[in-house]
């Protein structure tokens, strides 16, 4: 019930934001901290004085923070009376391509990737600390060296978990968009445009996101599964 409350509040605020005039929404995106705190406070008030309130506020705040960052990146924002363009306007995305972006972000929220990532990071860092201590005590390796190696290994593993979440969000988001009547093949053209714009990005294994080519391959492999969903909406 705690998580559900946070999710419901987040989506309620999201729907409210969609209904607001575009300029107002862009101004709100220009104040991400205030927006995140506002959603968290609202969640806490609904469960005032209980542990559930704190947890619901944390869930809603995390989801809002993730979505706000992605919305600023995609749509841009207004700050100090200046409009900072988002990727959608820079890359001249089609409606189908925008639907892939929106489906991706909705998938992150539905799969609770932010909460899951925190749990995975805590577990990975804990195992790394134990491994470092064991190597130092039983094999006489320098504690500083084992700690450094363990931390780097944990960071690489956390990056892998993040890339897996991004891939899942791509595929789930593509299905959401297809069911809504948007062409899932737009996922391919979207990442072709994004790859062109992101030249010079770090290697995939050092990134929180898969490379453009990897995402295109995953999307193309899953197109046969989602195309019937899209075609059904056109009948």
Asked whether the CA dihedral 120, 124, 125, 130 is positive or negative, the reply is positive
Condensed to tens digits (0 to 9), the pLDDT of residues 179-199 reads 999 999 999 999 998 888 777
pLDDT at 60: 72
pLDDT at 198: 73
Total residue length of the chain: 235
Highest mean pLDDT among 36-40, 119-123, 177-181: 177-181
Between CA 218 and CA 229 the distance in angstroms is: 18
Residues with catalytic function: 105
Between CA 36 and CA 190 the distance in angstroms is: 28
Mean pLDDT estimate for the chain? 80
Enumerate long-range contacts of 176-179, CB under 8 Å, 24 or more apart.
176/103, 176/106, 176/107, 177/96, 177/99, 177/100, 177/102, 177/103, 178/226, 178/227, 178/229, 178/230, 178/233, 179/229, 179/230, 179/233
Contact 46, 40 (CB under 8 A): no
Contact 191, 216 (CB under 8 A): yes
Condensed to tens digits (0 to 9), the pLDDT of residues 76-119 reads 888 888 888 877 777 888 899 989 988 998 888 888 777 777 77
| pLDDT band at residue 3 under the 50/70/90 scheme | low
């Amino acid at each position: 019930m705690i998580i559900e409350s946070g999710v419901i509040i987040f989506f309620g605020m999201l729907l409210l934001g969609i209904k607001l005039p575009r300029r107002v929404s862009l101004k709100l995106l220009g104040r991400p901290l205030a927006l995140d705190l506002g959603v968290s406070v609202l969640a806490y008030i609904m469960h005032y004085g209980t542990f559930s309130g704190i947890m619901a506020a944390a869930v809603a705040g995390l989801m809002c923070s993730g979505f706000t960052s992605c919305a600023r990146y995609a749509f841009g924002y207004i700050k100090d009376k200046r409009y900072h363009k988002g990727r959608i306007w820079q890359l001249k995305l089609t409606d189908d391509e925008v639907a892939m972006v929106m489906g991706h972000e909705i998938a992150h929220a539905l799969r609770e990737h932010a909460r899951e990532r925190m749990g995975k990071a805590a577990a990975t860092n804990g195992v790394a600390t134990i491994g470092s201590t064991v190597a130092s005590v039983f094999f006489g390796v320098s504690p500083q060296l084992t700690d450094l190696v363990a931390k780097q290994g944990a960071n690489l593993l956390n990056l892998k978990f993040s890339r897996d979440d991004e891939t899942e969000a791509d595929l789930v988001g593509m299905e959401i968009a297809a069911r809504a009547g948007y062409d899932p093949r737009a996922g391919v053209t979207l990442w072709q445009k994004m790859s062109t714009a992101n030249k010079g990005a770090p290697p995939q294994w050092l990134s929180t996101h898969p490379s453009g080519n990897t995402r295109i391959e995953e999307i193309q492999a899953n197109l046969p599964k989602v195309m019937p969903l899209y075609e059904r909406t056109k009948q």
